[in-house]
Structure 1
Amino acid sequence: MKRLLAGGLLLVLAACGQAAPPTAPAEQAAAPITVRNCGRTLTFDKPPSKVVTGYQPALETLLALGLQDKIAARTAFEENGPDGFLPGQKAAYDAIPQISDTIMLPQKEVMLAQGADFVIDNGQSSFDAAGGYATVDELQAAGAPVFILGNWCSPEETLKFTIEQTFTDLRDLGIIFGVQDRAEKLITDLRAALADVEKRVSGLPKVRILATDGGTGPVTAYGGAGLMNQMITLAGGENVLADTKADYSEFSVEQVAASNPDALLVLDYVVYDGKAVATADKKAADVLGVVKNSPAAKEKRTMPVPAAAAHPGYRNILAIVEIAKFLHPDAFTR
Structure 2
Amino acid sequence: MYARRGPRLLAPLLTLALFATACAAGDSGGGDAPAGGAGFPLTVRNCGTDVTFDAPPERIALLESAPVTILHGLGVLDRAVLRAGAFPEEYYDAGTNAAIAGIESLGEDLDESGHLQISRETIIAQEPELVLGLPDGITREGLAEVGINALVQPVYCPDGVDATTFDDVYEQIELYGRIFGRTDEAATLAAGLRERETAVEESVEGRPERTAAVLYPTVGGGSGYAYGNRSMAHPQLAAAGFTNVFGDVDERVFEVTTEQLVAADPDVLVLLHVDGEPDDVKDALVTLPGADTLRAVRDDEILVQLFNFTEPPTPLSMTGLERIADRFGAGR
TM-score (normalised: structure 1):
0.78
Q: State the Cα deviation string for residues 1-43 of structure 1 (Å, max 9, x = none).
A: xxxxxxxxxxxxxxxxxxxxxxxxxxx9432222222222222
> Partner letter of residue 284 of structure 1?
K
- Say which of 244, 268, 274 aligns to 2:273: 268
Does the 8 A contact of 2:204 with 2:331 survive in 1? no
Q: Find the counterpart in structure 2 of residue 308 from structure 1.
A: 308
| Shift in CA distance, 33/101, structure 1 to aligned 2, threshold 3 Å | same
Q: Find the counterpart in structure 1 of residue 297 from structure 2.
A: 297
- Say which of 231, 245, 252 aligns to 2:250: 245
Q: Find the counterpart in structure 2 of residue 56 from structure 1.
A: 65
CA positional deviation for 1:170: 0.7
Does residue 94 of structure 1 match 2:118? no
CA positional deviation for 1:154: 1.6
Does the 8 A contact of 1:29 with 1:176 survive in 2? no
CA-atom RMSD, angstroms?
Answer: 2.3
- Say which of 161, 164, 188 aligns to 2:164: 161
Q: Find the counterpart in structure 1 of residue 33 from structure 2.
A: none
Report the Cα distance in structure 1 between the residues aligned to 2:74 and 2:58, rounded to whole angstroms: 14
> Partner letter of residue 118 of structure 1?
L
| Shift in CA distance, 209/100, structure 1 to aligned 2, threshold 3 Å | same
> Partner letter of residue 94 of structure 1?
A
Report the Cα distance in structure 2 between the residues aligned to 1:247 and 1:152, rounded to whole angstroms: 9
> Partner letter of residue 211 of structure 1?
V
CA positional deviation for 1:246: 2.7
| Shift in CA distance, 87/330, structure 1 to aligned 2, threshold 3 Å | farther
Q: Find the counterpart in structure 2 of residue 325 from structure 1.
A: 326
Report the Cα distance in structure 1 between the residues aligned to 2:237 and 2:175, rounded to whole angstroms: 26
Q: State the Cα deviation string for residues 49-100 of structure 1 (Å, max 9, x = none).
A: 011112111233212221122111111316x4x5443452110110011123
Aligned residue pairs, count: 286
Flag structure 1 segments of 5+ consecutive residues without an equivalent: 1-27, 271-276
Most deviating of 256-265 and 145-154: 145-154
Q: Find the counterpart in structure 2 of residue 226 from structure 1.
A: 231
TM-score (normalised: structure 2):
0.78
Q: State the Cα deviation string for residues 127-156 of structure 1 (Å, max 9, x = none).
A: x4xx3x2x1012123222111223522251
Does residue 171 of structure 1 match 2:178? no
Q: State the Cα deviation string for residues 271-294 of structure 1 (Å, max 9, x = none).
A: xxxxxx4x3223323423433223
Identity within the alignment, %: 24
* Greater share of residues in helix: 1
Q: Find the counterpart in structure 2 of residue 199 from structure 1.
A: 202
Flag structure 2 segments of 5+ consecutive residues without an equivalent: 1-36, 111-115
Report the Cα distance in structure 2 between the residues aligned to 1:105 and 1:66, rounded to whole angstroms: 29
Report the Cα distance in structure 1 between the residues aligned to 2:190 and 2:126, rounded to whole angstroms: 31
